[in-house]
Amino acid sequence: MSKADVPLRILCIHGYRQSSASFREKTGALRKLLKKQVELVYIDAPHKVPTSIVSQVQEKPDSVGDDQRGWWFSDVQACSFDARQECESSLGLEQSLEAVRMAVKDLGPFDGILGFSQGAALVAMLCSLQEQKLDPTFNFRFAILVAGFRSACAQHQYFYKGVNIMVPSLHVYGQDDKVIPEPMSRDLLPLFLGAHSLTHQGGHFVPAASAHKHIYQEFLKRFQ
């Protein structure tokens, strides 16, 4: 088997109120689209979203099933998360960074990392830690951020201030995304030097139509 035939291993970081199982289901079309190029490995966030939060929310843009998890909470008292919520401190991020460290050690090595929504925001943080050489565990060759954003938490601003991330990146966002509007995702682009982008006309999901295939493939081809 030649090197070009070996699939790239990508660690997948789900969105808020998703799980590894639901994200795997939601990205079935992407797996099919890229099956010759990549192997996607999914992990769970360590924090369960409280059932009181789950029952209050009628619309479930990020969730499938009852196992709903998050990487951190912006509202420390309620243990809930809103990407637009400005807060001084958050709850749970350290445990999530440790969960990714353990995944890299136990399930790796990985060529790249892919995140969706809150998971993409976490991917940006991981890339920042890697760039600043603050954590030797993270050594991703590339990152794919779908509906990503900068955390609005004051405690997290060190991930963004004065940082130029050299990790090659593909940023994917929907023009009709009501959960993470396109400008929030675009706000991450200046952090990543030479960032690539894929814009689609849909909403809050991971696009995998045949029209998007060549953009994913051209991006990934550089790492095979």
pLDDT tens for the chain, 224 residues: list them.
Answer: 455 578 999 999 999 999 999 999 999 999 999 998 999 999 999 999 987 754 444 344 444 567 899 999 999 888 899 999 999 888 999 999 999 999 999 999 999 999 999 999 999 999 999 999 988 899 999 999 999 999 999 999 999 999 999 999 999 999 999 999 999 999 999 999 999 999 999 999 999 999 999 999 999 999 98
177 part of the active site: yes
Q: Catalytic residue among 14, 156, 204, 212, which?
A: 204
Please name each of the domains of the chain with its CATH number.
Answer: 3-221 (3.40.50.1820)
Neighbours of 51 (CB within 10 A): 10
The reply to whether 52 belongs to the active site is no
Quote the tokens at residue 218.
Answer: 């051209």
Q: pTM for the full model?
A: 0.92
Burial degree of 157 (CB within 10 A; 0-12, 13-18, 19+): exposed
- Active-site choice (19, 74, 96, 117): 117
